[in-house]
Structure 1
Amino acid sequence: MKRANANDPVALLQMGVRRYGDGDYDGAFRYANKAAELGDAGAHYQLACLYFEGKGVEKDEKKAVYHLEQAAIGGHPLARYNLGANEKNNGRMDRAVKHWIIAAALGHDASLDAVKDSFRSGLVSKEDFAAALRAHQAAVEATKSPQREAAEEEARKE
């Protein structure tokens, strides 16, 4: 709470997620909104979810997409993936594929699967698919460390 009172965007988002889990959608909105004002990409993603679901706010797809865009610009891979899904639903597969390629390059597995499906459908060239696959692999490799592997091993033992 001390960090949230100091306007730490990560702490504010955590408080918003906690409120969301408790069913306090108004509180979730307030905390996420404050964190988003401070530039937190995860907070923009949380706001997009609230607007899509109509929890704590009135359902508003335009505001939801705006916050997805802000989160994606901030490097949030799931927001980028969801923008691709939104473009697909609106019949703009060329734009959807671009979003998925970017998210795959951030290491997002479902986006890589979407690029793969688009390749199989003939919407993505072999070269673009290969480049997305290499970028995805590089992103995943960049997250590996001995400490992380040890922690994952400990988690599997439990």
Structure 2
Amino acid sequence: MMTRSRLMLAATFLLLSAPLAAAQDGEPEVDCENAQVQIEMNICADRDYQAADGELNAAYKAAMAAAREMDEQAGEMGEHYVGAADALKRAQRAWIGYRDGQCELAGFEARGGSMEPMLVSGCLADLTRKRTAELKAVSAISGN
């Protein structure tokens, strides 16, 4: 027969392990409009970054199409006018290195703590949105 304290311990374990089971089956249910605890805030910050990253990827694709169009048009004036697509690739690779280092640095405010992932994800989302705006400006140059 279980003692009352063992029963309470077992019930507590089950309640605490439920979110872990949900996380293993897929992403846990979190209302990001009302995130209350740090794990929820971390999850929501990551979701925000993932959404921003999706927008960035679409903007990069459009900017690359614009850069290739610029290269096609410039090629008619001479080969030394071509290179927009290659420049965009180099810029994007350099930006990714900058973003990753800058956001790792942002996480040091809470290094090793439960808040660190939220700080890193927030930084990633912010810098990604700024880069998306830059890439959209590249697309606007060629009218894409």
Q: Which is higher, the Rg of structure 1 or of structure 2?
A: 2
Higher RCO (CA-CA < 8 Å; seq separation 6+) = 2
Same fold (TM over 0.5): no
TM-score when normalising by structure 1: 0.28
Give 1 or 2: higher helix fraction: 2
